[in-house]
Amino acid sequence: MKGLLGCSVKEEKCDTVPQHIRDLETTLAAQYNTKNNPHMALENKRVGNLIAEREKMKAEAFKRLETPGQEASYDMELFMRKYFLDENEMPDRSKMSRPLVLTGYNDRYDMHARAEEVPGLETHSGGQGNVRTLVIGWSRSAVWAEAGNIDKAQRADRENKKDAEWAESMKTHDSFVKSLTVSAEDQSFSAECATGSYVVQCDKATGYDELDGPMHLSITEAPGGLVGSFDFAVLEGIMRFDVSEAALLDREDSGSEEEDEDESVEDDERTALNPPSNKRQAPSTATNSTAKRVKSTSTEQTRRLYLKWRGRETGEGEIQVDYFNSNTGYIDFLDAACTTFDGRFSADLLGKNVPFQGYRVGYDFRPMTGHWSDYSERAHEYARVVRWR
């Protein structure tokens, strides 16, 4: 057999299909079609009916939708044919002369791409975040103007929300002031009276979109002196306070990792369960003397607390290293009960001597956002290296 096939190939007898084989193929195909065509026709008709019924149901559901955004989300092609294309899938400017705002529509990339396939159709988005909204229409200027209106409306909504939240904070502040058993005028000022929670107003920070609710400052006592946890929208971190600038700088120079740990609420609890060894007595004594210095000097006429801060910007989380010892400021309490204050602080992100005001809302304080050493130059360098690994 192998030899026969080899000879047939050499004699070019396998280059074409013999006619009698092609005739046989035609006969068998005709017999198959005669037997199966009725079944195939019925099947094709059944499938066609299902497709038509599905398209009818889809069209009826599409008609029940109330907004262009819902229509675009349900079926982009039905949406395009309703507003921008004729029955031949060609641009039809007569159907919709004004821009459409697709509120609630999230597949903006797909719509941008689909609109690029239609000559003259323009798209642009307005607003920010999860409520960013796409606008589509024939006039570029009209589409962009409508997107700008969305931006304006969103900014107005944010301002209204901020105003409402601040009004609630002021109600809490007023309730706190009324709850004081001794009026602010009848008591003497002490730095320890500053401990508690404050809502903060800072115009330089409130202009940023990162603001989510009122800004806060919480002050508490630690073995090394007064410390605070702050959230100023674009900045967050830790503040140290003292009644004198010299004492604050002295505290900075004598600080250690052990002192940083003492300033953490969690480490305070751990210290209570496991008393420090003798090796820790010297730093503890030094920090306690700082606390005593706050008490001894806080009886002066001034109600000012000087501050030094460390922290990070909240967008990328980059630590704001204080290379030139300029992350400083102060707060002046307007009464001895420390119910309100005016302050200034400097930050590369916001500027020098940025004004801010605080209104006390309670005695409790928020947990510390890390340790003092978490925002050091060493921590910044480590974070920088890790970020690019």
CB 138 within 8 A of CB 97: yes
Range of the domain at 324: 182-387
| Side chain identity, residue 311 | G
| Side chain identity, residue 28 | L
Q: Which residues, other chains included, contact 152 with Cβ-Cβ below 8 Å and sequence gap of 6+?
A: none
Q: Which of 134, 151, 168 is the last residue of a domain?
A: 151
Q: Are residues 145 and 208 in the same domain?
A: no
The b/e string for 69-86 (b: 16+ C-beta within 10 A; e otherwise) is bbbbbebeebbbebbbbe
Whole-number pLDDT of residue 325? 85
Let me know if residue 143 belongs to a domain: yes
Let me know if residue 116 belongs to a domain: yes
Let me know if residue 22 belongs to a domain: no
Let me know if residue 192 belongs to a domain: yes
3-state secondary structure of 88: coil
Secondary element (H or E) of residue 314: none
| Side chain identity, residue 170 | M
Place of tokens 């005739």: 23
Measured at the CA of 168, the angle between CA 163 and CA 173, to 5 degrees, comes to: 120
Q: Are residues 135 and 209 in the same domain?
A: no
Q: How far apart are CA 169 and CA 217, in angstroms?
A: 13
Q: Report the CATH number at residue 311.
A: 2.40.128
Q: List C-alpha distances in Å: 150 to 4, 105, 113, 124, 132.
A: 83, 14, 22, 11, 8
Q: Are residues 191 and 110 in the same domain?
A: no
Give the pair of three-digit tokens for residue 75.
């079926």
Q: List C-alpha distances in Å: 301 to 190, 255, 290.
A: 10, 28, 20
Q: Are residues 202 and 94 in the same domain?
A: no
Q: Which of 151, 168, 203 is the last residue of a domain?
A: 151
Q: How far apart are CA 269 and CA 289, in angstroms?
A: 21
Let me know if residue 217 belongs to a domain: yes
Q: Which residues, other chains included, contact 349 with Cβ-Cβ below 8 Å and sequence gap of 6+?
A: 234, 235, 313, 320
Whole-number pLDDT of residue 21? 81
CB 121 within 8 A of CB 134: no
Let me know if residue 87 belongs to a domain: yes
Q: Are residues 241 and 366 in the same domain?
A: yes
List the one residue out of 131, 104, 106, 134 whose CA is nearest residue 122. 134
329 has which bridge partners? 307, 345
CB 209 within 8 A of CB 360: no
| Side chain identity, residue 302 | T
Q: Are residues 134 and 194 in the same domain?
A: no
Let me know if residue 12 belongs to a domain: no
Q: Are residues 188 and 228 in the same domain?
A: yes
pTM recorded for the entire structure: 0.65
Whole-number pLDDT of residue 4? 76
H helices within the chain, ranges in order? 2-10, 19-64, 68-74, 76-83, 108-116, 140-179, 203-206, 245-253, 257-262, 265-273, 281-297, 377-387
Q: Are residues 195 and 310 in the same domain?
A: yes
Q: Counting every residue, how long is the chain?
A: 389
Q: Are residues 198 and 343 in the same domain?
A: yes
Whole-number pLDDT of residue 110? 95
Tell me how many domains the chain contains: 2
Q: How far apart are CA 102 and CA 240, in angstroms?
A: 50
Let me know if residue 296 belongs to a domain: yes
Q: Are residues 108 and 240 in the same domain?
A: no
Mean pLDDT by runs of 10 across the 389 residues of the chain is 76 75 83 70 82 91 95 95 94 95 94 95 92 95 96 91 92 94 72 93 76 86 90 92 86 53 43 37 36 43 89 88 90 94 94 96 81 87 75
Q: Are residues 362 and 249 in the same domain?
A: yes
Whole-number pLDDT of residue 184? 59
Give the pair of three-digit tokens for residue 94.
């007569």
Q: Are residues 255 and 381 in the same domain?
A: yes
